[in-house]
């Protein structure tokens, strides 16, 4: 598999362990376009095409899928649910459509890996996921991407959050593809809470991310965080948006960029819209650089300049939701 750029051995080993664990325990695994499904108590899992045949209501959200899964969670799942999408063959196209449903009071951690197993495969990976959280449902999603420099990736997440539901979504792009387009949209009903974090490095790549949440229920809230590091010949544009319609809603945008190379470009746009006088919306946005003082300090302690930069970038990206 493609290697991870990290100067810290323990951090690198921890990520590799996470990747291996997701692959080992995936209840849905798709390598190229070959699918393997495992059963898990308390979880219904089907291919998306079988699910459409079984449940006519899915057609409300999904039209003519090629591949992907349907996962329904009931109750509290103590162990994480893992899914895995891998590409191993040059010029393969994965077009995925997924539906995840958490029934009332369900609670789960969901881990998913999307990756190219080799460099320079020139693959295409598209992913549309519909996430439905019913009343009091809670989910934490840990989404890991690792691609080659010639891959094209497009993903979309559409979220419906019921009353008192909770979402934590953590997306990390460890090695960015040639082009990456990502759109996340969500609707929060009464007292629903969404926390979103996207951490990416752009290097010889184009990355465009658009996250948007609508607070339509009273006392609903959303926090969107972006951490983007711009390396050699990288371009990234992020647009984060929160719209407040419900009473006493709260929203916060936190957009931070780090310029590593003069050949990179970062464009970070926060947008807040309030349609209710009781709503509170805030944002902070900044694009900075690595100072010579910090580099000198780390090099004086035995790090090369390259390793020092990698360490700074790793620390910059390592934020919490």
The pLDDT assigned to 190 comes to 98
Kindly report, residue by residue over 148-200, the tens digit of the pLDDT.
Answer: 999 999 999 999 999 999 999 999 987 889 999 999 999 999 999 999 999 99
The pLDDT assigned to 12 comes to 59
Kindly report, residue by residue over 263-320, the tens digit of the pLDDT.
Answer: 999 999 999 999 999 999 999 999 998 888 888 888 888 888 888 887 877 777 877 7
What does the block give as tokens for 264?
């990179």
18 phi and psi angles, rounded to 5 deg: -65, -45
Question: Is this model's pTM higher than 0.85 or not?
Answer: yes
The pLDDT assigned to 91 comes to 96
Kindly report, residue by residue over 86-119, the tens digit of the pLDDT.
Answer: 999 999 999 999 999 999 999 999 999 999 988 8
15 pLDDT more than 80: no
Kindly report, residue by residue over 240-259, the tens digit of the pLDDT.
Answer: 999 999 999 999 999 999 99
List Cβ neighbours of 164 (8 Å cut-off, separation of 6 or more): 135, 136, 190, 191, 192
Contact 280, 310 (CB under 8 A): no
CB atoms within 10 A of CB 119: 14
């Amino acid at each position: 598999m493609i290697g991870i750029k990290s100067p810290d051995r323990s951090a690198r080993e921890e990520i590799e362990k996470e990747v291996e664990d997701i692959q080992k325990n995936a209840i849905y695994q798709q390598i190229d376009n070959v699918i393997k499904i495992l059963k898990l108590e308390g979880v219904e899992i089907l291919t998306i095409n079988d699910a459409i045949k079984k449940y006519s209501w899915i057609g409300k959200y999904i039209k003519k899928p090629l591949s992907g899964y349907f996962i329904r969670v009931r109750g509290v799942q103590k162990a994480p649910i893992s899914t895995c999408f891998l590409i191993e063959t040059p010029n393969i196209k994965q077009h995925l459509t997924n539906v995840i449903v958490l029934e009332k009071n369900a609670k789960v951690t969901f881990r998913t890996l999307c990756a190219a197993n080799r460099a320079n495969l020139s693959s295409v990976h598209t992913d549309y996921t519909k996430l439905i959280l019913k009343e009091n449902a809670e989910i934490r999603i840990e989404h890991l991407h690792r691609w080659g420099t010639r891959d094209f990736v497009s993903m979309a997440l559409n979220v419906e959050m019921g009353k008192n539901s909770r979402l934590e979504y953590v997306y990390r792009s460890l090695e960015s593809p040639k082009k990456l387009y990502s759109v996340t949209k969500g609707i929060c009903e009464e007292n629903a809470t969404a926390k979103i974090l996207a951490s990416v490095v752009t290097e010889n790549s184009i990355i465009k991310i658009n996250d948007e949440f609508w607070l339509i229920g009273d006392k609903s809230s959303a926090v969107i965080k972006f951490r983007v590091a711009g390396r050699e010949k990288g371009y990234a544009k992020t647009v984060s948006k929160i719209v407040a319609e419900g009473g006493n809603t709260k929203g916060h945008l936190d957009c931070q960029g780090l310029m590593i190379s003069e050949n990179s470009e970062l464009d970070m746009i926060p947008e807040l819209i309030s349609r209710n006088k009781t709503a509170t919306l805030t944002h902070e946005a900044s694009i900075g650089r690595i100072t010579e003082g910090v580099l000198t300090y780390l090099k004086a302690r035995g790090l090369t300049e390259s390793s020092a930069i990698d360490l700074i970038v790793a620390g910059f990206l390592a934020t919490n939701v």
